Every structure is written in structure tokens, then in C-alpha cells.
Amino acid sequence: MSKGYSLKNVHELSGGDDEFIAVLVQTFLEEIPPDLDSMVQAVDSNNPEMAYQYAHKMKPNLQLFDIELLTQIKQIEAWSKTKKAKEEIKPILDHIVTTVNAAIEELKADFA
């Protein structure tokens, strides 16, 4: 079974420095869950501007760990610029939450 994340970009950035890799993973595990929760709350409370901010903030970290959600994050950002109902973006948001939470659990298991 393939992982929900990849350390390829992390290794390139770190130059193989295991301590730096551990710091990057720890930072991801500390910052992404509250940002993800805040993005969900922003969508649930129909606050597209806040949803955009959290989606945009999470994007570089998701790309660093090669979590394949760039298209969905861009959809959240695009939704925030429209007047569409939150129900239209919920399936995409649910996919992001499921994918990110799976990657978080895998990172925790791999770096425990």
C-alpha cells in the first residue's frame, strides 16, 4: 500500500539531514491539524475568506510532503471567490480532511 505522503521533497530540502527532517515532520504535525480544523470551521460557518486563508496557508506544507491535494486546495480557494453555497464545496473539503488525516496518522506512525 502506498503512503499518503512522500518525503522526496523533504529529503531534497534537508540535504539528508535527519534532524531537520524530524523538525519538518514535527512542524507539519503541529501546524496542519489546527489549520485543517479552522478551514473546516470556516466552510461550515460560511466564511469563504477565512477558508481561503487556511487553504492557502496549508498549500506549501501539503506540497512539501507531496500530499496530492493541490487541485482540491485550489478548488477551495476558487470557491472562496464565488458566492456558491458551502454544500457545493463540502465533498471536496471532506476529501481533503480524509486525505490529510490519513497522512498525519502515517507520519505519526513512521516518526513515533
CB atoms within 10 A of CB 93: 22
Residue 1 has pLDDT above 60, yes or no: no
Decide: 64 and 6 in contact? Cβ < 8 Å. no
- 83 falls within a domain: yes
Q: Would 3 be classed as within a structural domain?
A: no
pTM above 0.95, yes or no: no
Q: Is residue 1 part of a domain?
A: no
Q: Domain limits at 80?
A: 8-110
In terms of Cα–Cα distance, which of 59, 56, 44 is closest to 81?
Answer: 56
Q: With 90 as the cut, is the pLDDT of residue 83 above it?
A: no
Q: Is residue 2 part of a domain?
A: no
Q: Is residue 30 part of a domain?
A: yes
Segment 19-44 shows an average pLDDT of 96
Residues 6+ apart with CB under 8 A from 13: 20, 24, 64
Q: pLDDT-based confidence at 95, cuts 50/70/90? A: very high
Three cell numbers, residue 18: 535527519
Q: How many domains does the chain contain in total?
A: 1
